[in-house]
Structure 1
């Protein structure tokens, strides 16, 4: 089957590196974008605008007139479902592009993870609808989206790298492990954030006869947990910043850290504003967009610590020799 796919793809024009990068960027944007539109569904209480899955209404894949579902809710939820086709299209294009270009195995694996993870996410979305928007299903749906954003950023970076290069550690191993710790803390922040949402006022549906079950934990407690994890995350990022200057890391890597710190700080400001203003709907959407940006920026920082570089002819800095080995030579 795969050989047949390759033979069919080989009939297409050879995609340039620029086109491959453009396709990979489209994957990142669509993966992050559908998480944002999903938050719009939630804050407009349109989560059950299409009460069944994979159909929108029993016997119909498109919205139909229904006395118990307002037209605006049908339109918002169905519109979000339609955006899945953009996600699938972007995923299909990048798979075809890297296959036709005969990119290295690693790139092709990351590319195929996009349609595969999209299927998993679609199934999880169906479970979320069929269970009546149980808070933990919504949380898993959100976390899967953030995981897909992470993978799509890694895909973009892998596409940019030369296939004939070698991986080069531009910072010492302990610093790379510190970046892993930051990613773990970021994950904790995301999980705590979904729990805040699960206990908060935006349930995704406002049905009176069958209200959406909520997380039965005091929201103030969850907010404090969310904030504490964010402080820990930001503290590790500051530590990484000092370490990058101590080891004279590349300027590009430092710039990526600045982006992460800036995005996380902005997220903290949005979160505080939400808490003070009783979680307005518009800020929920902004906060979800910021979460996607945080994940993307953190992934970009981590992967840049050990990039794949084209082999050069001389010099320890350009030979693809890891920094630890270069320092010892």
Structure 2
């Protein structure tokens, strides 16, 4: 393939470059969710009321459109940031592809890399539908939730750059792995419940947007109750680590999850007590992204796929073969 030949001419990415690309993918996927919350709390969700154009007849904001210029540029800036995320995703694909050319067995790495641009394109379409639906609360919820698996997959990609492709060897008992699966499921339930609180709350993205007709207090209690369940599962998982004498690296990941999750719970409680101030909403979304990253890191740290073999270029005679 011509494009494969072109990629093969690129310098082989060093271990530092591979790690940097993985980190960039995680940051890009997480931060786009945070900037989306800024659009919402500033009431800029319909600053660009059409899609893919910003306003009718123009891809960029127009000051004579009857829409506040600041709202236009906040929403337009978020759309431009999507382009940056796509660029990072493309770099991830090219990097993984270049690694596989020298190390043909690294197919899983390339597959994970391709989820980045594929997911971003899907997310852009969902975002467009959200705008066309005039920010109906459930479309905003879907738009946010569609970001969360991309953050998880980006963490898996970062890990894949640093591990082998052997069959995974569990570092926890089978029961511990089951608890970890439940932990991930409950994490997403916490996130989904959070979107219902947002849907009924004061920050809709636009003053004319329909809101979820449900008591915020009850929705917040469900959201908080699911977080408590998440923490209980996390505690049970810790008992499984004690049972097998888990390695220090896994304990470190486990500790990070506790710190991030408890901090996020405290932030959410404070946010609710203060009447949901705008700035704290975006910090709470940032905390949600941190919980996803920490939980995904715990997931990847609970198994061993063998040593990585693709941090350096293969001997020339092997690549020629």
TM-score, structure 2 length as denominator? 0.92
1:52 aligns with 2:54: no
- Match runs of 1:1-329 below 5 Å: 3-102=1-100, 103=103, 104-163=106-165, 165-206=166-207, 211-310=208-307
What do the CA deviations read for 1:172-216 (whole angstroms, capped 9, x no partner)?
11101100101111111000000000000000012xxxx101111
What do the CA deviations read for 1:147-187 (whole angstroms, capped 9, x no partner)?
11011001111111135x45221111110110010111111
- 1:67 to partner: Cα distance: 4.8
**2:57 counterpart SS class:** coil
Counterparts of 1:59 and 1:8 in 2: how far apart (Å)? 38
Match of 1:320 in 2: none
**1:231 counterpart SS class:** helix
**2:161 counterpart SS class:** helix
For structure 2, list consecutive stretches of 5 or more residues without a partner in the other structure: 309-321
Counterparts of 2:116 and 2:69 in 1: how far apart (Å)? 32
Counterparts of 1:279 and 1:4 in 2: how far apart (Å)? 54
Report the more deviating stretch, 293-302 or 241-250.
Answer: 241-250
TM-score, structure 1 length as denominator? 0.90
Q: Is the 8 A contact 1:166 1:310 kept in 2?
A: no
The CA RMSD over aligned residues, in Å, is 1.2
- 1:5 to partner: Cα distance: 2.3
- 1:126 to partner: Cα distance: 0.2
- 1:13 to partner: Cα distance: 1.4
Report the more deviating stretch, 196-205 or 8-17.
Answer: 8-17
Counterparts of 2:25 and 2:52 in 1: how far apart (Å)? 23
What do the CA deviations read for 1:256-285 (whole angstroms, capped 9, x no partner)?
011111111011111111111110001100
For structure 1, list consecutive stretches of 5 or more residues without a partner in the other structure: 312-329
